[in-house]
Structure 1
Amino acid sequence: MRSAVHHVVMVVSAGMPIFEAAVPCEVFGIDRSDLASPWYRFSVVGIGADPVALAAGFTLTGSDTLDVLDRADTLIVPACTNIHDQPPTDQVAVVRAAYERGTRILSICSGAFLLAAAGVLDGRRATTHWMHADEMARRYPAVRVDPSVLYVDDDNVITSAGTAAGIDACLHLVRMDHGAAVAAELARRLVIPPHRDGGQAQYHRLPPAKVSDDWLGQLLDWATNNLHEPLTTTDLAARAQVSVRTLERRFATTLNTSPLRWLLEQRIRQAQQLLETSDLPVDRISSRCGFGTPASLRAHFTRTVGVPPTAYRRTFRTPSDDRRDALQPTR
């Protein structure tokens, strides 16, 4: 029987890369009840020999027993030891059983191979590290492999790309469970960007770094701080002192999107954060986020997020918000 506390269980096995295993420990394994209470309960389970000898000379001892798998709300598979080896049957069985119980499953990097071997990804869109995408597509043709994104959330099954994308995927889970404000604060503590959309291109799509190429990053920072302005592609190109064509090409190559689409996504994200963390009325939020009118905000927000702004605010308000509102004098 599951408790009210969300239980995250990570499975590890011999030879598993240490960094991928460390990411969930940092995100879910540290008590952060000052951000959201209750925080997660986190367990690590070793599959196979005990103790588990991880990569780079690290050894895991004192892991939780296998019975905690039955109580997991989320199962995390950090990475495979070797993608060219057939995953051990005991690991495959653990993933398949969790899936059949309805457990949410997250894989990091090559961990997607274990999910694919368990049949969890059949018919689903999924991703893995771009270096392994062709191999996954060859070995598991029933999986719709997308090597161009950071992570994919397909109905309670989340697959992520390389190591850093695993952090993005873990923050995505925190955002779903506790809201944007909590995920953003956790990101600040980890000294990483507060939210990188799963659809953002993997790093292998970026051009070689050059000193002269940093203008796009500076432009994005400037635009993010000026979303209240009615920015256009021409405005962004003028700010960067490049042609509109050059700007559009750089956005397509680096971010896999257009300048206007990127602006819309940033405005939607800012609106989400304000809806979750402030009492500003919708008309003020629409102005602050650069939508101009409440009608424009509602139309774009509903089309992108799937619900109107007011419904989103009701969904993501915490009990403490409601109690605070109840104490406010009636106007």
Structure 2
Amino acid sequence: MKIAVLIFHGVELVDMNGPVDVFLHANRFHKAPVYNIYTVAATSARIVSEGGVVTIIPQFTFETCPDPDLIIIPGRIANDADDSSIPAKPEVVAYVKQMAEKGKTILSVCVGLYTLAETGLLAGRKATTHYLAMDYVKSHYPGINLVENVRYVHDGNFISTGGITSGIDGALYLVEQYNGADVALQVANIMVYNRKAKLPPGTILPLGHSV
């Protein structure tokens, strides 16, 4: 399975690395790696992560990357106060839409949902995102059926996940679908990650909330 991890300026590091780590560890349980994971960006220029802490050189551009089976969309946090674009740039949105329309599996992490929502393909579908981003999604993408207080939601070829570390939950869910519950459990153990842990109380939204 070919997994393309989208990267762009302001990419949130745990959003990106959490799912990557899950699939890399899942490869341990096969004689040959079953997950080929690579980064892809609109251009080959260096990417600066959230906070300007990490610089990443994309392995591929949209034109050169292998045809993916799964695309991971991390969230982004603008590094520059003048950069008001919360979703990724239009060329990234266009790529996601093209791949989704081909039936590729799309995994959005945290506010990576904004980029996926910009495609218009989530209208009428269930999805989730970071608890602090719910009101933004409701106001900007009212056609989405938002599910609160969950770590991930699967609807069609879209898996959307909640805040930051929930990307790990979404990736483990996919490993369970592809490789079975035992492999998913062993990967979670290696990562010292408790899939059954309750949501932190401060992140649970009450009915009729406003954040």
What's the TM-score, normalizing by structure 1?
0.55
Q: Which amino acid aligns with 1:191?
A: V
Contact 1:104 1:157 in 2 (8 A): yes
Contact 2:4 2:68 in 1 (8 A): yes
- Structure-to-structure mapping, 1:260-279, within 5 angstroms: none
The answer as to 2:85 corresponding to 1:85 is yes
Contact 2:126 2:146 in 1 (8 A): yes
Give the match for residue 153 of structure 1.
154
The answer as to 2:14 corresponding to 1:10 is no
Q: Which amino acid aligns with 2:69?
A: D
Give the match for residue 115 of structure 1.
116
Contact 2:128 2:147 in 1 (8 A): yes
Greater share of helix: 1
Greater share of strand: 2
Amino-acid identity (%): 28
Q: Over residues 239-262 of structure 1, what are the superposed CA-to-partner deviations in whole Å (9 max), with x where a residue is unaligned?
A: xxxxxxxxxxxxxxxxxxxxxxxx
- Alpha-carbon shift at residue 104 of structure 1 (Å): 0.2
Name the stretch that deviates more: 58-67 or 73-82.
Answer: 58-67
- Structure-to-structure mapping, 1:276-291, within 5 angstroms: none
Work out which of the two has the higher radius of gyration on C-alpha atoms and give 1 or 2: 1
Give the match for residue 39 of structure 2.
44
Q: Over residues 277-309 of structure 1, what are the superposed CA-to-partner deviations in whole Å (9 max), with x where a residue is unaligned?
A: xxxxxxxxxxxxxxxxxxxxxxxxxxxxxxxxx
Q: Over residues 137-188 of structure 1, what are the superposed CA-to-partner deviations in whole Å (9 max), with x where a residue is unaligned?
A: 1100111112221110011200000112111111001000100000000111
Structure 1 residue ranges without an equivalent (≥5): 1-5, 207-331
- Alpha-carbon shift at residue 34 of structure 1 (Å): 3.0
Q: Which amino acid aligns with 1:129?
A: H
- Alpha-carbon shift at residue 112 of structure 1 (Å): 0.4
Q: Cα–Cα, structure 1 residues 65 and 30, in superposed 2: closer, same or farther, change >3 Å? A: farther
Name the Cα RMSD after superposition. Answer: 2.5
Q: Cα–Cα, structure 1 residues 124 and 84, in superposed 2: closer, same or farther, change >3 Å? A: farther
Higher relative contact order (CA 8 A, sep 6+): 2
Give the match for residue 189 of structure 1.
190
Number of paired residues?
199
What's the TM-score, normalizing by structure 2?
0.85
Contact 1:73 1:104 in 2 (8 A): yes
Give the match for residue 208 of structure 2.
none
